[in-house]
Amino acid sequence: MHKLTRRDFARLLTVAGTGVCLNMLGSAARAASGARPRVVVIGAGFGGATCANFLRSYGPQLDVTVVEPKKQYITCPFSNTVIGGINDMSYITYDYAQLQARRGCKLVQDTVTAIDANARVVRLKGGGTLAYDRLVVAPGIEFQWDKIAGHSLAASAGIPHAWIAGEQTQILIKQLQGMPDGGVVIVAAPRKPFRAPPAILERASLIAYYLSVNKPKSKVLVLDPNDAEPKLAQFLKAWGEMYPGMIERISGPAAQVTRLDAAARTVYGPNGESYKGAVINLVPPQTAAAIAATAGLTDKSGWCPVNPASFESTLQKSVYVIGDSCIAGDMLKSACSANVQAKACAAAIISSLNGAKMHEQALTTAFYSLAGPKFAISEVQTYRAVNGRLMSVAGGVSETSAAKRIRLKEAEYAAGWYKSITAEMLAL
């Protein structure tokens, strides 16, 4: 028996004049010729890498290629413990060796510059192309520098966000180490939606922890223009107990940073309110990473609308968007959301390639925030698609009145969660 190539098959169908759309039969033709269905994954974070791992675990017949520009992955979860001096950078630094060796995912160190959803091809910065049967887009966030007058990517070398972990984390740590005792550290949040909103309160807490140990006369000023976080009462209580008088929080419209004077180390609110700090940790407003917009996956909001069960884009066929860049109803943008979305998406892709039934999903997330090394506050939520939208059906935050031993237990659970979620991401 001879093997038919894809081209032979296409020619044959054309000869036969079947009138069947070739593009639709593409995967079937590949299957008939013995080729493995190809899935390309853009971005190897908590969304992309987890999805790749689960695609290969539950669909060993799949050919999975992950495109990621970075060799190392430094996690945002637990990066606040590094800023607080509790862990070092090695605690949050990983590579993709096991994803390749253990799971057989192909890693391409490059950046996707364009997606041709009709031809089912992605183009790489390095000049190559990758063809796919299904595409997973998990590129994360992009900062909107222009929403803060006087701010820029270049200025972030001196006014760190540390909201993508790595070099930025180290810049913030160096500034905290270099500031005088008695200085003010500003932690400024953007308006929602943005990545991991409760992590602002964790950031403030663990900076206060570092200061309480090393520079106890210093203060932390939190600028948060959003409605109160569900965890706020729990944090305020923790701050009173652990860092009395050290953390001040300003909320409402006046807390929205609209202008930066980097040289004067001052940020400004919309009505000229000014806040001066020895260190300014300014988290800019965010949108889906640029490739999502370039590929026509974003709507007017700047984020990507998706089917809430499969995470397939509602704008491009056979393209799935997971993680911070997608619009997932009530789900927070977080590593844990990306993780459960990645697994649901992997299940949806495997089912769709096999023509099998896709089951209703229940997506449970656990979001731990540390207020100190042995003190965590948990929020759990379970989301289900209700009338086409992912809505929380049950969940909540651990009680404000919870005893110290519960907070300790939640801190221990947080460490277990972190080990588990990174293992699921990187096939550890």
Partner 1 sequence: MRHPAKSLSAVLAAVLGGLVISGASRADGIDRATALSFSCTTCHGPTGLGSKSVPKIRGLDSKDLEQSMKGFRSGEEQETIMGRITQAYSNEEMELLAQYFAKAE
Contact letters for partner 1, residues 5-34 (x by CB under 8 A): ---xx--xx-xx--------x--xx-xx--
Minimum Å distance from CB 134 to partner 1? 15
Q: Which residues, at least 6 apart from 17, have a Cβ–Cβ distance to it below 8 Å?
A: none
Asked if 421 is part of the footprint of partner 1 (rule: CB under 8 A), the reply reads yes
- Comparing CB distances to partner 1, the nearer of 22 and 213 is 22
Distances, alpha carbon 350 to alpha carbons 56, 314, 316, in Å:
10, 19, 18
- Return the residue of 139, 365, 370, 371 that touches partner 1, per CB under 8 A: 365
Asked if 119 is part of the footprint of partner 1 (rule: CB under 8 A), the reply reads no
Minimum Å distance from CB 194 to partner 1? 22
Sign, CA dihedral 43-49-50-54, equals positive
Which range of residues in 65-73, 204-212, 270-278, 345-353 is near partner 1 by CB under 8 A?
Answer: 345-353
- Return the residue of 336, 370, 371, 390 that touches partner 1, per CB under 8 A: 336
Minimum Å distance from CB 406 to partner 1? 5
142 in Cβ contact with 286 (< 8 Å): yes
Are β-strands 319-321 and 134-137 bridged in parallel, bridged antiparallel, or unpaired?
Answer: parallel
Count of residues of this chain found to bind partner 1 when the rule CB under 8 A is applied: 58
Asked if 366 is part of the footprint of partner 1 (rule: CB under 8 A), the reply reads yes
Tell me the C-alpha distance between 48 and 158, whole Å: 30
Asked if 3 is part of the footprint of partner 1 (rule: CB under 8 A), the reply reads no
Are β-strands 363-372 and 375-386 bridged in parallel, bridged antiparallel, or unpaired?
Answer: antiparallel
Angle ∠(325,283,233) on CA atoms, nearest 5: 95
Alpha-helical (H) ranges within 197-316 are: 199-214, 232-242, 290-294
**Largest CA-CA distance found in the chain, in angstroms, rounded:** 82
3-state secondary structure of 350: helix
Are β-strands 112-116 and 106-108 bridged in parallel, bridged antiparallel, or unpaired?
Answer: unpaired
DSSP conformation class of 229: P
- Return the residue of 65, 75, 80, 398 that touches partner 1, per CB under 8 A: 398
Asked if 413 is part of the footprint of partner 1 (rule: CB under 8 A), the reply reads yes
Asked if 333 is part of the footprint of partner 1 (rule: CB under 8 A), the reply reads no
Q: Name the site residues for partner 1 (rule: CB under 8 A).
A: 2, 4, 8-9, 12-13, 15-16, 25, 28-29, 31-32, 54, 58, 336, 339-340, 343-344, 347, 350-351, 354-359, 361-366, 378, 380, 382, 384, 393-396, 398, 402, 406, 409-410, 412-413, 415-417, 419-421, 423-424
